[in-house]
Amino acid sequence: MDIATRLAGVVKDCPDFPKKGIIFKDIMPIFQDPDLVKDTCLSLNEKILEIGKPDAIVGIEARGFLIGPIMAQLLKIPFVAIRKKGKLPRECHSVKYEKEYGFDEFDIQTDALAQGSKVVIVDDLLATGGTLEAAKKLCDKCEANVMSHCVMFELEFLGGRARLADTPVITLVKY
């Protein structure tokens, strides 16, 4: 069975969460299957390496932290965290953005990425594109080059890919 079929088979639909009218995709059952997690990370890395080898994986809080460090470890490259405002010590770049359910703000430490480094931004899901777009803006502030956005799932009907038109998007499952 291919990785997309395996992933789609364990995701649970949760109607009216977090708001009425939304069908939330619960990905947490993936992490109850260590082989599926490993195979997911290997599949994403394989697709990344078709573009080129990055210098770092940049993971978005919180779900980008679930697979990003594993992906970075397998590639033998650093993992860099993008966190919610106020969660990182030392000097940070910040960006405010609109997401599916409101507004938020992210930080990245100013010295986390080397100028000119090639990075891949990792998260669980591409929906409207606001979160990944904000992460790219933070990488741009660090003068890093975003090679690709990389997600397990994409909600195509929300059109988020259009906001990321200047950067390739790697995804395993599209809804």
Catalogue the active-site residues: 63, 100
- Please report, for residues 14, 28, 40, the alpha-carbon distance to residue 20 in angstroms, rounded to integers and kept in the order given: 11, 21, 31
- CA pair distance 173, 175, nearest whole angstrom: 7
User: By C-alpha distance, which of 170, 87, 172 is closest to 132?
Assistant: 170
